[in-house]
Amino acid sequence: MNIPTPSSLPRLPRGRNIARAIAHRWPALAVATVAAAVPMGVALADSFTGLTTFDAAKGIVIYVRGHDPANQALAATNDHGIGITGGGATIGVSGSSTDLGGVGVSGFSQTGTAIEAETNFGTAIKASTGTFGGTGTAIVAQANRTAGTWAAGVVALGDEAVVARGTTMGVDATANGTAVAGVSHNEVGGFFAGKEAPIRLAAAVTAGAPTSGVHHRGELYVDSNGLLFYCTADGTPGTWHQVAFKN
């Protein structure tokens, strides 16, 4: 194999043809030659026809680094199909960010799906805050928060659509409207079990049944004294009756 010397490098084609020419003439030295011979800012190629393969026995096959904060270090587009496909024995695609508040992997779609994950037997998406005492949030899902749009931050379908197992709390839900809603087409809307008690109703800060606000039949209410009230008719404040207990 003839190794190019510095005197022979100027005869290489410039611009977008240089990578193609080097790969054709010296395939084993393509990457090393380009790194040594191509000045900063020279484009290697603006298009490839057919299958282009980069292979390395060890280490990183392709390393891309950029310094322009206004542009991407690597951009891939496909007018009709997939822009980038990654496959690996352990990880197909890995993304990381070193900036505070940065994003390791970002996906955007105007009308379709931004990120799609599929698995036959394993986990399609796994998110972790790290193994070194990380306290961040593994997944943040946000949709249109305008009232009445009914846009969903998370939509889960499955035999068990959502499974939550927490150390301190399994599910923590807050909302301006109803925080948690459960509807079953064939069985009960909610099932609760607990070592201390199946369910707990937080006590109000005032005594007696509610005296303001819109309330609906079927509501349960615990006042500051621990007395339980039940709403039997819709209204403002609704019709309430104290539930009697026998010793």
pTM over 0.85: no
Rounded to 5 degrees, what angle do the CA atoms 105, 111, 112 make? 60
| Burial class of residue 195, CB neighbours in 10 A (0-12, 13-18, 19+) | exposed
Closest CA to 4 of 22, 19, 24, 31: 22
Mind listing the pLDDT tens digit of every residue in the chain (247 residues)? 444 444 444 444 444 455 555 455 444 444 444 444 444 444 455 566 667 777 767 777 777 777 777 777 777 778 877 888 877 777 777 887 777 777 788 888 888 888 888 888 888 888 887 766 677 888 888 888 888 888 888 888 889 988 999 889 999 999 888 899 999 999 999 999 999 999 999 999 999 999 999 999 999 999 999 999 999 999 999 999 999 887 7
